[in-house]
């Protein structure tokens, strides 16, 4: 494998110490960690905003803030959670850290491009946060930036749009880097079907990142041009077509939900065989279903537009195609359960959270069917039913797995063990709080409570109050998990090479991994999940 040896790895090694050693690093592990700190920060900021919105909704009437402030808060909450945490999260943190190691490589193929992605991410993030404080006031359009309001709003929409545009570039560069790394940097013997399933998840995701992101990038630039030059592409007052915006936006943003979930599903496919002490059941179908989801994901964007006036034929087609996504998703759930079947399951924190994930994500997925079928969607569209659905899918899905992955790989990334009891208590409180916070939203949504309102009618009160109390419980759970991690980093017991009995390559090198990961590039001879004592 010549490609492996020719990579100029860690050029700054030895040249810079201290903070510069981080800011100028090209080491994939350090870049992954820099993403981790940035993302946890933004997640906590957006969570605090969620907390404030829930506080406003605890009782009818104005409780804490003006309607305009609420509009700004849900916009910022959405923009940060979506563009700064959920979309880039797993590839940027765990992908960067583990993709090269799982492939048996010393780094990604373009280490400098990798660092550039991080800087673009930070610049986009700063711009998004700055839009709060500059002249015109915080953006108030919602994270979807729907026209024509996003053209007319006098708030700082242009900054937020430009921020999302830059973040898109960061995402595209990461995608290019990962695809090329997977094609060129696999260790000898690592054939396509010996790659860990997390790598397959990242691979499918990377294709969506590079093919779908440019569409939304150009669309957002067109809205900026429309705001500044009045060119009339989307604004009906200027002869433009607002529905065109929705098409272009969702052609990216539906596949983007698979950018969120495919890497998370990849991690689930790592955790389950590790803690079931079994080879994964249905390796091929799981790997291929990732590609299938990535592909079908491009064909379903119209399900966000059932009530926008598109034709009945297109609505019927989009509805049918939407149901198709259930097939590859079902393939995964089936194979995960079949892997656990007759396994000697050990319920450590990551596995515990995966079980919670399967429960919560299934509720998210099944309620997606309610939204995907025409007749029921018309009743619940733009209500709290939708808010409940996407929090179950995104937060219950990728969000839960982000934390499960932190616990799974913490020993490897930092060489420290965490207190398992504390982590499990945190995860349990998180899980209870999660359902208390979001489940009542299905009910009030069904009863007719619209989303994006700072106030509500008294008949919805009891559900809103329950939900707000749920947010306190959930936040307590998250803070316990984060504290557990911080304590582990400060004074955790030293982790050995392979605390969980994992079978992929990261478990064959020291914790934390040395500078170039492997002294000698390994030669791969067996499948990724073959346990020594496995019955398969
Ligand atoms: C990974 C975690 C999360 C993600 C990805 C997420 C995502 C989103 C998105 C995309 C929106 C829609 C914004 C819009 O309508 O423009 C939203 C709304 C909202 N979220 Fe979250 N969120 C997360 C966590 C939380 C947490 C922890 C809380 C509460 C503590 C929360 C409370 C809310 C509330 C109250 C709304 C506004 C509902 C409305 O008025 O329509 N979210 N969230
Ligand atoms: Cu969609």
Compute the chain's Rg from CA coordinates: 23
Residue 4: pLDDT band (50, 70, 90) is very low
Q: What is the mean pLDDT of residues 464-490?
A: 97
pLDDT in tens, 53-68: 999 999 999 999 999 9
pLDDT in tens, 79-118: 999 999 999 999 999 999 999 999 999 999 999 999 999 9
Look at residue 515 in the predicted model and tell me its pLDDT: 86
The token pair at 378 is 């018309």
Look at residue 17 in the predicted model and tell me its pLDDT: 74
Q: What is the mean pLDDT of residues 484-499?
A: 95
3-state secondary structure at position 493: coil
| Cα–Cα dist 471/452, whole Å | 17
pLDDT of 271 higher than 50: yes
Look at residue 485 in the predicted model and tell me its pLDDT: 97
pLDDT of 7 higher than 80: no
The DSSP line for 69-128 is HHHHHHHHHHHIIIIIIITTHHIIIIIHHHHHHHHT-SS-S-HHHHHHHHHHHHHHHHHH
| Cα–Cα dist 278/281, whole Å | 8
pLDDT of 2 higher than 90: no
Atom 1, ligand 1: which residue's CA is nearest? Answer: 395
| Cα–Cα dist 516/511, whole Å | 13
Look at residue 6 in the predicted model and tell me its pLDDT: 33
What is the position in ligand 1's atom list of the atom closest to the CA of 478? 27
Residue 536: pLDDT band (50, 70, 90) is very low
pLDDT in tens, 164-217: 999 999 999 999 999 999 999 999 999 999 999 999 999 999 999 999 999 999
- Residue 366 and residue 230 in contact, taking contact as beta carbons nearer than 8 Å: no
Nearest to 103 by CA among 6, 7, 198: 198
| Cα–Cα dist 502/479, whole Å | 28
- Residue 236 and residue 151 in contact, taking contact as beta carbons nearer than 8 Å: no
Q: What is the mean pLDDT of residues 322-350?
A: 93
Provide the Cα torsion 314, 319, 322, 323; round to 10°: -140
Residue 394 Cβ < 6 Å to ligand 1:
yes
Residue 151: pLDDT band (50, 70, 90) is very high
Residue 452 Cβ < 6 Å to ligand 1:
yes
Query: In this predicted structure, which of 1-5, 32-36, 202-206, 282-286 has the lowest mean pLDDT?
Result: 1-5
The token pair at 452 is 């994006």
| Cα–Cα dist 143/72, whole Å | 10
Residue 47 Cβ < 6 Å to ligand 1:
yes
Q: What is the mean pLDDT of residues 352-366?
A: 95
**Helix, strand, coil proportions of the chain in percent (round to 5)?**
70, 0, 30
Residue 387 Cβ < 6 Å to ligand 1:
yes
Residue 71 Cβ < 6 Å to ligand 1:
no
pLDDT in tens, 428-443: 999 999 999 999 999 9
Ligand 1: which of 88, 164, 387 to mutate, judged by most atoms within 8 Å of the beta carbon? 387
Residue 15: pLDDT band (50, 70, 90) is low
Atom 16, ligand 1: which residue's CA is nearest? Answer: 142
pLDDT in tens, 245-260: 999 999 999 999 999 9
- Residue 454 and residue 67 in contact, taking contact as beta carbons nearer than 8 Å: yes
Look at residue 430 in the predicted model and tell me its pLDDT: 98
Residue 395 Cβ < 6 Å to ligand 1:
yes
Q: How far is the CA of 329 from the centre of ligand 1 (A)?
A: 24
Look at residue 311 in the predicted model and tell me its pLDDT: 94
Of the bound ligands, which one is closest to the alpha carbon of residue 452? 1
Higher-scoring residue by pLDDT: 476, 10 = 476
Q: How far is the CA of 152 from the centre of ligand 2 (A)?
A: 26
What is the position in ligand 1's atom list of the atom closest to the CA of 454? 40
**Is residue 54 exposed (0-12), middle (13-18) or buried (19+ Cβ within 10 Å)?**
buried
Look at residue 195 in the predicted model and tell me its pLDDT: 97
The token pair at 18 is 């201290």
Q: What is the mean pLDDT of residues 37-47?
A: 96
**Is residue 46 exposed (0-12), middle (13-18) or buried (19+ Cβ within 10 Å)?**
buried
Residue 420: pLDDT band (50, 70, 90) is very high
Look at residue 11 in the predicted model and tell me its pLDDT: 35
Look at residue 12 in the predicted model and tell me its pLDDT: 35
- Residue 386 and residue 257 in contact, taking contact as beta carbons nearer than 8 Å: no
How confident is the prediction for the chain on average, in pLDDT?
Answer: 93
The token pair at 36 is 């981790």
pTM above 0.75, yes or no: yes
Higher-scoring residue by pLDDT: 34, 515 = 34
Spell out which residues have Cβ within 5 A of ligand 2, the ion.
254
Q: Mind listing the domains of the chain with CATH numbers?
A: 2-508 (1.20.210.10)
Atom 37, ligand 1: which residue's CA is nearest? Answer: 74
Look at residue 19 in the predicted model and tell me its pLDDT: 85
pLDDT of 407 higher than 50: yes
Q: How far is the CA of 394 from the centre of ligand 1 (A)?
A: 10
Residue 194 Cβ < 6 Å to ligand 1:
no
Residue 10: pLDDT band (50, 70, 90) is very low
Residue 136: pLDDT band (50, 70, 90) is confident
Task: Report percent pLDDT > 90 for the chain.
Answer: 88
């Amino acid at each position: 494998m010549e490609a492996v040896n020719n990579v100029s790895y860690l050029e700054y090694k030895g040249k810079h110490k201290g903070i510069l050693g981080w800011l100028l690093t090209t080491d994939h592990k350090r870049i992954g960690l820099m993403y981790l700190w940035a993302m946890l920060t933004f997640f906590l900021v957006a969570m605090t905003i969620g907390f404030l919105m829930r506080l406003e909704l605890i009782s009818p009437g104005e409780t804490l803030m003006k309607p305009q402030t609420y509009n700004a808060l849900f916009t910022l909450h959405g923009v940060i959670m979506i563009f700064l945490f959920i979309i880039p999260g797993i590839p940027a943190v765990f992908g960067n850290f583990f993709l090269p190691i799982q492939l048996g490589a010393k780094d990604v193929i373009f280490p400098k491009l990798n660092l550039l992605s991080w800087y673009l991410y930070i610049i986009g993030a700063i711009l998004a946060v700055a839009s709060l404080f500059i002249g015109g006031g915080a953006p108030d359009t919602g994270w979807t930036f729907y026209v024509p309001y996003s053209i007319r709003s006098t708030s700082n929409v242009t900054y937020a749009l430009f921020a999302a545009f830059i973040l898109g570039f960061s995402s595209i560069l990461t995608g290019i880097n990962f695809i090329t790394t997977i094609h060129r940097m696999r260790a000898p013997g690592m054939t396509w079907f010996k790659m860990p399933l997390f790598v397959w998840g990242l691979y499918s995701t990377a294709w969506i990142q590079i093919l779908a992101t440019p569409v939304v990038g150009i669309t957002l630039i067109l809205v900026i041009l429309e705001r500044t030059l009045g060119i009339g592409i989307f604004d009906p007052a200027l002869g433009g077509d607002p529905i065109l915006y929705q098409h272009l936006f969702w052609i990216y943003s539906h596949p983007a939900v698979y950018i969120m979930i495919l890497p998370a599903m990849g991690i689930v496919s790592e955790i389950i065989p590790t803690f079931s002490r079994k080879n994964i059941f249905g390796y091929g179908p799981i790997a291929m279903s990732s590609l299938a989801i990535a592909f079908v994901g491009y064909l379903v964007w119209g399900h966000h537009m059932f009530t926008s006036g598109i034709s009945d034929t297109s609505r019927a087609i989009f509805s049918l195609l939407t149901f198709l996504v259930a097939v590859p998703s079902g393939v995964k759930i089936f194979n995960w359960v079949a892997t656990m079947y007759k396994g000697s399951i050990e319920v450590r924190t990551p596995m515990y959270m995966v079980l919670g994930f399967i429960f919560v994500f299934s509720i998210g997925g099944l309620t997606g069917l309610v939204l995907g079928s025409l007749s029921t969607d018309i009743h619940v569209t733009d209500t709290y039913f939708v808010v409940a659905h996407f929090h179950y899918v995104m937060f219950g899905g990728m969000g839960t797995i982000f934390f499960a992955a932190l616990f799974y790989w913490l020993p490897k990334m930092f060489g420290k063990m965490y207190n398992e009891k504390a982590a499990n208590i945190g995860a349990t409180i998180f899980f209870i709080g999660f359902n208390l916070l979001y489940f009542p939203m299905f009910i009030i949504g069904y009863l007719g409570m619209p989303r994006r309102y700072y106030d509500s009618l008294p008949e919805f009160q009891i559900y809103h109050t329950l939900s707000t109390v749920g947010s306190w419980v959930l936040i307590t759970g998250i803070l316990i998990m984060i504290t557990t991690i911080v304590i582990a980093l400060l004074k955790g017991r030293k982790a050995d090479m392979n605390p969980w009995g994992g079978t992929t390559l990261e478990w064959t090198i020291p914790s934390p991994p040395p500078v170039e990961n492997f002294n000698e590039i390994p030669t791969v001879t067996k499948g990724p999940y073959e346990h020594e004592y496995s019955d398969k």
